[in-house]
Structure 1
Amino acid sequence: MDSGYVPGEEISGDIPVTRVAVACAVILLESVVAIYLELGNADQLLISGVRCYVQLTILGFILAPIFAAQNAVLVLAYVFLFMVVVSANEAAARPKVTYPGIFWKAAISLGSGLLFNGFVLLCIVEPDPWYDAQYVIPLAGMLINNSLTGTALALNAMIDYLYTNKEQVEVLLAFGATPWEAAWPGLVKSVQAALIPVINGMNVVGLVSIPGMMTGQILGGASPMKAAKYQIVILFMISGCTFWAVCMICAYTIQAFFDENGRHDDSAVAPQSRLNISKLLSSLPAKLPCFGSRSDAKKGGSASPTSAEQPLLAEASEPLDLICSWRKQQSAEGGAKVLDVLMEGNVGKLRPLKVQFPALAGEVLCIMGPSGVGKSTLLKWIADLSRYGSAKMAVGTRDKDTMAPQEWRREVLYVHQVKAPLPGTPRKLIQALEKLKVRSGLPALAAEPLVSQIGLEESMLDRSWSELSGGEGQRMMFAIALSTNPKCLVLDEPTSALDEASKILVEEVLKKRGSDSCVIMATHDGKQAERVGTSLWTFTQTA
């Protein structure tokens, strides 16, 4: 952690420019050796050295009049309108992808953390006046700099969890988790990763390193004990400021990845286009004549083909309907209506889809259609895991509009087509599901008997998900889903990774489930639909 010099004590004597030149010679020597050894980073060493010299010199010229003015408005403006803004831009520019408002959310996170912890710090240090630039600006710089590191780490980790590993989030949502419950594992990992530099810094301070603040004060004539007390206060406030900013940016990021119905929504996520200060300044030498030869050579390369800039052919736009191809007699004479569906929306962006069907108690509705026609999209619509156009749905006697989204997903449970890359073991997942708010007051899940019925050993509940094959993981997720006893089980090709023997076991379990529930299942296997289905629904193109 950077904890630079705290003011209050002046370092005796100024350093002449000639002595600074001696330090510059060290960088020059490094570059010469790098060229000799063909390390390939000699230009980076020189550029970073020049930047360091220029930036710190400019900083000195900027701070000199601010220190002399001793004006509260000027000091606070420099801290919050320059230091915080630049730091927020740096944090927002680090992730590979971004979302709307990320800069302002980073600025609020850093600014509020600085405001609270900076106030506490000034109450301890007690500068006179409280806005003394010699104290406020260096202290704020230490807090912001370390908070920036933590905020950038947390932002990267949180976005990675919610965007790159979104299948894990969607699995938890499907079982009725709130956005906060679904994102909680990622939040924990993000905060832990962001606080590692702070924790490591406090662990080794005074043992491995003497911080710059202590060095500055001791050189200025302060006693080592006084310098140590200042260092303790600074480190603790750095920890508090980082923790505050990290928690806030994680919370803001979670909000950005879910819509008003608690559905995971990354439609607004875009590739990173924001330039941070490092990239901006590093690009300047390449634009100068003496550094521009390599980039100029690239300009002579072949241009992108015109066809690469043309949009892909639009997907089919003909409307689709879901119609019943056949229904078995016992299904037609079935019991009470478990699920009633009337909805419409667009598959992709252009193809309208309209569906209307009831699902009766004990019924297994099989849905068939070519790949890409919209089977998975429809199933996610029914489970309220994907945004649709309009819908009127009910489960039992309860209308969807009268239920919380989590309640609906608990009763209308969607099971993903393939094994999601989940952490931990199946038993850990079961324990996490039992803790969900939506399952409060409900009995514990009894997945063990179902695991045995589908041909898996109970010991597999304690094996890592990564150790299970695709078929084993698919069957395990099916057993866990069935153990939650939903009113309607929505299965997206639940046997796509299974051999024939395992497929039959799953089908037998489906047939033996409770008679007060129903199943909606997408499949490509017509024979399977005949064996287990009570009705078959197919996608038909309409005029």
Structure 2
Amino acid sequence: MNGNGTIDLAFWQVASAYLFILIVWIIIRIKKIPREKLIVIATLRMTLQLILVGYVLIFVFKYPNPFVTIGIIFFMLGFAILNVYQRTKPAIHISFKKMIAFAMVIGTSLSMIYLVFVVLRLDPWYEPRLFIPIGGMIIGKTMTGVALGVNNLLNGMKQEQDRIEAALMLGATPKDASKSIINQAFDAALLPTINAMVGMGIVFLPGMMTGQIIAGQSPLTAVKYQVAVMLGVSGTVAITILVFLQLSYKSFFTDRKQFVLTKRDLPSDAKPVKYD
């Protein structure tokens, strides 16, 4: 144990934790689940990525710079956006991808600005020891929420095609015809965050709070930071998925209020919808 009360793990202690992955690998091998290669690759990637990030953060913490800090956040955000693309089935059109990226940039940026300048009041505002971990938590949770929202919107539009077309024929606007699907997609995106909030403190101690306690901070100080960040996470997910849904549902309709699932279904003279 160090002088500040933290525990510095030796190399052999970290190596011994890989026993858990070995157990996982043996179980899926016995059950003949074809995931052995994926488990090995994921473990190696996690290890190498975290080691690399550790060395990068040592440098960033030692020489704090606003451009470097912001650059790291946007790099993380870009990687999260790519992950959303990969998690989305079926393949989505480029315009849909732009909507996802725009919504994630807007939602994350607005929330981080408010958290940093109003709630946390970091001094300096780009303090990397707090800015980067908090940004990473928000981006990670938002990535999961948006991926759920996108998939639920696509699945809902496909499954409810007949109902939507019937509503349009009866005079409903595209917004009204899609309302229930949009609401379901929003609910699906936000539900994991709400469930996590419900279980915090009783079922489990969240990551940021645990990290601060291990680092020697007072549990009450850790609680205050965790509450602020978790509220920021919920707000970011809500803002991001709201922006995305309000933009994306229109891509399923033409200016003639015709429902289309893919761009290939568009009539040759159709134009993107321009109404709310």
Which TM-score band (shorter chain)?
0.7 to 0.9
Q: Is the 1:11–1:216 contact (alpha carbons within 8 Å) kept by the matching residues of 2?
A: no
Residue type at the aligned position of 1:257: F
CA spacing shift, 1:128–1:239, aligned 2, 3 Å = same
Structure 2 Cα separation of the partners of residues 138 and 111 of structure 1: 17
The correspondence of residues 39-78 of structure 1 with structure 2, limited to 5 A, is: 39-78=33-72
Q: Secondary structure at the match of 2:17?
A: helix
Measure the CA separation in 2 of the matches of 1:87 and 1:266.
Answer: 25
Q: Which amino acid aligns with 1:67?
A: F
Could you say what secondary structure the match of 1:155 adopts?
Answer: helix
How far residue 43 of structure 1 moved from its aligned partner, in angstroms, is 3.4
Q: CA RMSD in A?
A: 2.6
2:98 maps to 104
1:126 corresponds to which of 108, 114, 121: 121
Say if 1:191 and 1:247, in contact at 8 Å, map to a contact too: yes
- Greater relative contact order, per chain length (Cα 8 Å cut-off, separation 6+): 2
State the shift of 1:36 in Å.
Answer: 4.8
Separation of aligned partners in 2, 1:11 and 1:26: 27
Q: 1:12, CA displacement in angstroms? A: 2.3
CA distance in 1, matches of 2:129, 2:36: 37
The answer to whether structure 1 residue 189 and structure 2 residue 212 are counterparts is no
Report the Cα offset of residue 153 of structure 1. 0.6
Match of 1:86 in 2: 79
- The residue number in structure 1 matching 2:110 is 116
Helix, strand or coil for the counterpart of 1:101? Answer: helix
Structure 2 regions of 5+ residues with no counterpart? Answer: none
Identity of aligned residues (%): 26
What displacement does 1:253 show? 1.5
Any conservation in 2 of the 1:117–1:240 contact (CA below 8 Å)? yes
**Aligned length, in residue pairs:** 268
- Structure 2: distance between partners of 1:269 and 1:163: 15
Match of 1:179 in 2: 174
Q: 1:151 touches 1:242 (CA, 8 Å); kept in 2?
A: yes
The one-letter code matched in structure 2 to 1:231 is Q
Aligned partners of 2:182, 2:269: CA distance in 1, in Å?
A: 31
Corresponding residue of 2:238: 243
Alpha-carbon offset, residue 104 of structure 1: 2.1
Structure 2 counterpart of 1:136: 131
Mapped to 2, the partners of 1:248 and 1:202 lie a distance apart of 23
Larger Rg: 1
In the alignment, the residues of structure 2 paired with residue 105 and residue 189 of structure 1 have an alpha-carbon distance, to the nearest angstrom, of: 19
Structure 1 alignment gaps of length 5 or more: 1-9, 271-385, 391-405, 407-543
The verdict on how the C-alpha distance between 1:35 and 1:179 changes in structure 2, with shifts beyond 3 A counting, is closer
State the AA in 2 paired with 1:222. Q
TM-score, normalised by the number of residues in structure 1 = 0.46
* SS of equivalent to 2:172: coil
DSSP 3-state at the match of 2:70 = helix
TM-score by length of 2: 0.87
- State how far apart, in whole Å, the 1-side matches of 2:73 and 2:149 are: 23
Cα deviations by residue, 1:366-423 (Å, 9 ceiling, x for unpaired): xxxxxxxxxxxxxxxxxxxx85879xxxxxxxxxxxxxxx9xxxxxxxxxxxxxxxxx
CA distance in 2, matches of 1:39, 1:179: 44
| Change in CA separation of 1:45 and 1:169 when aligned onto 2, cut-off 3 Å | same
Bigger mean CA offset, 24-33 vs 161-170: 24-33
1:236 positional shift: 0.7
Q: Encode CA deviations 1:214-236: one digit per residue, 9 max, x unaligned.
A: 11111122222221111111111
Flag the structure with higher strand content.
1
Q: Greater helix share, 1 or 2?
A: 2
